[in-house]
Structure 1
Amino acid sequence: MNHRLKSIAARSLIAFPLTTLMAHAACTIPIGIVLPTSGELSAQGQENVQMAQLAIQQIDKAGGPGACRLKAVISNSQTKPAIGVDAAKKLVDLDHVPAIVGASSSGVSMAILTSVTAPGHVVQISPSSTSPAFTTLAQQGKTGGYWFRTAPSDALQGVAMAYVAHQQAKLRRVAVMYLNNPYGSGLAGRFEHEFKAMGGTVTASVAFNPRQPSYRSEVHQAMQGHPQALFLVGYPNTGEVIVREWISAGGPHTYLFPDALHAPQFVDAIGGRYLDGHTWGTVPGNTRTRSLGYVAKAFKRGYGHAMSESYDASTYDATAIAALAAYAAKADGAVTGARVRDMIPRVTDPKGTAVYASVRGFRKAEKLLAAGKPIRYIGASGALHFDTTGDVKGPMVVWRVKDGKIVPVETLSAKRIAAIGAHG
């Protein structure tokens, strides 16, 4: 871990409790945070934790839930399902949280949802778990309505990536390598379906497992069929190993990367020499609202650097929604997982009064919620409204690598992506 990440971790997990986590002994409402501060997604996770803390701090500063204070209880998932489950169980059984923000990866979130939060009647809001499998699970009635996410499903990203590959990169033959978990298989499957519908050919589709010492066998398998490019669905550390072995094996130097590889440290590790002009990527984007500006300024003021990681805005929003729903539950009675679940529509009501992500906005929200009135929370990632499966719609940003840096080049609206998917 470099000096900056160590600094982030120290400020996130040690310094913060001296301010916001000071709670009134009489009444404290804990909000669980399960994100990776070490492991595959540590750089993203550490900054996402800061975003969650900022949301709790601002809502608490606005007044908090009546005589109560909010408390962020943070656990490290390490991007490992078993560890994530253990962390979530502790939060539910010992800290008695009514809601958990997390996890980052779909594999960890799925394990927590099916073994802890849904059976335990605790709300779970993920800022970045994008597997389409969650939608299916909700449609089957297996989430109990306790599952929500503030990032759009990969059902959208798969369409967007297929469009980018076929129409913008002008590719006709693509090899796919994907992480063998709900995130990897879900996104790869949707991409393959859409790319084929557009007339493209998937020359190989190869699953891989994390933390292998080498991926030479999988790389050689993926290179069969003479692909023009590699679509790699994985996390930064593993992705770095695979791309290096792909280059060493003589694979074509054109790459398609999804949200998990929209990471400065991944691009730095591979180098602009190999990625400049050869890379196309997609990542869920933010709808520009005044909230994003408010949050960006507050974050830089509080932590000394700009927001830079994927899912920063959606993590802030997931935490804010959980905390506002807890406030609404407290104003109307007891704060339980079931009550928080039932209050989420009240804080994201399209017909409610608009409130923005700032201390002033949260004061307004708390007054309205205390009076039993609905609000329309317009967050850092946009105006969020959950459908019956806990999903949201949102835009996708197309990005490339230029001079060794990630550069956004276009935003595809949710409406446009839906039209692309409908017409192939």
Structure 2
Amino acid sequence: MLMRYLLIGAAFVEVLSFGTANAACTTTIGSVMSLTGSLGVLGQQIAKGAQLAVADLNSAGGVNGRTVSLALLDDQTTASVGVDAAKRLVDVQHVPAIVGALSSGVSAAILTSVATPAKVVLISPASTSPIFTELAKAGKTEGYWFRTTPSDTLQGVAMAKVAMDSGIKKAAVLYLNNAYGQGLSTEFANAFTKLGGTVTENVVYNPSQPSYRSEVNKAMSPAPDTLFLIGYPGDGTTIAREWISAGGPQNFLLPDGLESQDFVNDVGVKYMKNVHGTAAGSVTTPSLATFKQEYKAKFGELPTQAYIPNAYDGTVILGLAMEYARSADATAVRDSIRKVTDPKGEKIYAGTAQIKKAAQLLSQRKAIQYVGASGPLQFDAYGDINAPMLVWSVDSHGKVAPTGMVTVDQIAQLRKEIK
């Protein structure tokens, strides 16, 4: 199947070179993201985070004296396409690391079929399924897996809290039949019921169906207070419209995969007046302000959606790890990632000046702690991080907007309560 590079804006023409990893003066970082398909509307924005990181790395002098390039391929939100893209990056361009994928199902396929067997780092800004933790615990990732976003083990608990705080007692769940949907629906159902709520129906659906009327009808009986719809904008739009036309309550719980202004507009703002959403949150750090300023200068206003800062952070971490390792060898990069996020090290933030400072410290073999735009990134033994969960809704003007945060401590306390 034909793979294509994402064409990027003219602002990056001078700093992004799509040569191979063997080019004399270039180090290539691979990336597999959903630029089309059901996650395409989100993925096109997330990819800009990785592009901005490469621009900053190059403005700071590159990595180990070499220009950094980003080989960005489209997985079409499909596992088989994602695997083919990753194989191309590994076998043809010999990349030591890949930023991506976004869909948990795509990332799982790449991790097990390509990254781990080839001993290449895979760092995802958006794959939240608990399956990755289980794979790591079983020794099946060999330490090559990292993610800059929290697991749905956390999001499921946060969503249950948001639902209970909103007075919701009965929730129907419609979830996508992939690792993301399966994991999040399980975590939510467990937390929600233990907090006193009732899951009236838990209905799975497959992607790319022309209609979901059968699944919608099943989810509507017995009558719930709300629909927790787990999926992506393409199929999610169809399901939400059919739910509304069938007379379902216009009260929605929506996760990170549907934190999208396009999704809200396509369903119809007038139907989305009672939305309670969650997504990976960002601890406020100096990096976040810098990231927002740089993003606005290159791309315009930062959209209200998850994972753009996470893609930036994952890419910067790879560059810093290569700098620490003084090598683009994949295993050396893997072993250096925790070295550049060392809580005992000197704090380094986002932006060209800070990355340049990091390179100077690393050249002196000094410890650093990169504190990202998405927050402090402390990877545990399984490549996971802790992070707060953003709460979002649709405001009176029909705009997707943040409304609060479920903190790391709140999530931890709830997890103790529901065990």
For the criterion TM > 0.5, the same-fold answer is yes
Task: Tell me which amino acid in the other structure corresponds to 1:287.
Answer: V
Question: What CA deviation, in whole Å up to 9, does each residue of 1:390-413 have, x standing for no partner?
Answer: 000001111111231112111111
In structure 1, distance between residues paired with 2:402 and 2:9: 31
Q: Does 2:281 align with 1:288? A: no
Question: What CA deviation, in whole Å up to 9, does each residue of 1:287-346 have, x standing for no partner?
Answer: 11111111111111112343443211101001111111122222xxx4211010000011
TM-score of the aligned structures, taking structure 2 as reference length? 0.95
TM-score of the aligned structures, taking structure 1 as reference length? 0.94
Q: How far did residue 369 of structure 1 move?
A: 1.4
Counterparts of 1:10-409 in structure 2, within 5 Å, are 12=8, 16-21=12-17, 26-166=24-164, 168-276=165-273, 278-330=274-326, 334-403=327-396, 404-409=398-403
Unaligned runs of 5+ in 1: 1-8
In structure 2, distance between residues paired with 1:316 and 1:260: 18
Contact 1:21–1:71, Cα closer than 8 Å, also in 2 = yes
In structure 2, distance between residues paired with 1:410 and 1:187: 20
In structure 1, distance between residues paired with 2:215 and 2:315: 38
Contact 1:296–1:307, Cα closer than 8 Å, also in 2 = no
Contact 1:300–1:307, Cα closer than 8 Å, also in 2 = no
In structure 2, distance between residues paired with 1:328 and 1:70: 15
Match of 1:415 in 2: 409
| CA RMSD across the alignment | 1.6
In structure 2, distance between residues paired with 1:397 and 1:304: 22
Q: How far did residue 149 of structure 1 move?
A: 0.2
Task: Tell me which amino acid in the other structure corresponds to 1:411.
Answer: M
Match of 1:5 in 2: none
Q: How far did residue 171 of structure 1 move?
A: 1.3
Task: Tell me which amino acid in the other structure corresponds to 1:320.
Answer: V
Q: How far did residue 260 of structure 1 move?
A: 0.5
In structure 1, distance between residues paired with 2:354 and 2:141: 31
Contact 2:207–2:235, Cα closer than 8 Å, also in 1 = yes
| Corresponding residue SS for 2:257 | helix
In structure 2, distance between residues paired with 1:67 and 1:362: 13
| Corresponding residue SS for 1:84 | helix
Unaligned runs of 5+ in 2: none
Question: What CA deviation, in whole Å up to 9, does each residue of 1:45-102 have, x standing for no partner?
Answer: 1121111111011111111223322111110111100000000000001111000000
In structure 1, distance between residues paired with 2:255 and 2:120: 30
Contact 2:15–2:69, Cα closer than 8 Å, also in 1 = no
Q: How far did residue 348 of structure 1 move?
A: 0.5
| Corresponding residue SS for 1:291 | helix
The farther-off stretch of 97-106 and 44-53 is: 44-53
Question: What CA deviation, in whole Å up to 9, does each residue of 1:210-238 have, x standing for no partner?
Answer: 00000000001111111111111010111
In structure 2, distance between residues paired with 1:144 and 1:13: 36
Contact 1:272–1:402, Cα closer than 8 Å, also in 2 = no
In structure 1, distance between residues paired with 2:186 and 2:116: 26
In structure 2, distance between residues paired with 1:130 and 1:25: 34
In structure 2, distance between residues paired with 1:22 and 1:396: 35
Ranges of 4+ aligned residues in structure 1 off by more than 4 Å: 22-25
Contact 1:30–1:73, Cα closer than 8 Å, also in 2 = yes
Pair 1:83–1:208, CA change in 2 (3 A) = same
Pair 1:71–1:198, CA change in 2 (3 A) = same
Q: How far did residue 118 of structure 1 move?
A: 0.7
Pair 1:360–1:307, CA change in 2 (3 A) = farther
Q: How far did residue 29 of structure 1 move?
A: 1.1
Contact 2:259–2:304, Cα closer than 8 Å, also in 1 = no
Contact 1:353–1:376, Cα closer than 8 Å, also in 2 = yes
The farther-off stretch of 187-196 and 46-55 is: 46-55
In structure 1, distance between residues paired with 2:257 and 2:387: 17
Identity, % of aligned positions: 47
* Alignment length (residue pairs): 411
Q: How far did residue 22 of structure 1 move?
A: 7.7
Contact 1:36–1:78, Cα closer than 8 Å, also in 2 = yes
| Corresponding residue SS for 2:413 | helix
In structure 2, distance between residues paired with 1:123 and 1:193: 32
Contact 1:64–1:327, Cα closer than 8 Å, also in 2 = no
In structure 1, distance between residues paired with 2:146 and 2:321: 13
Contact 2:15–2:58, Cα closer than 8 Å, also in 1 = no
In structure 2, distance between residues paired with 1:94 and 1:357: 31
Pair 1:290–1:323, CA change in 2 (3 A) = same
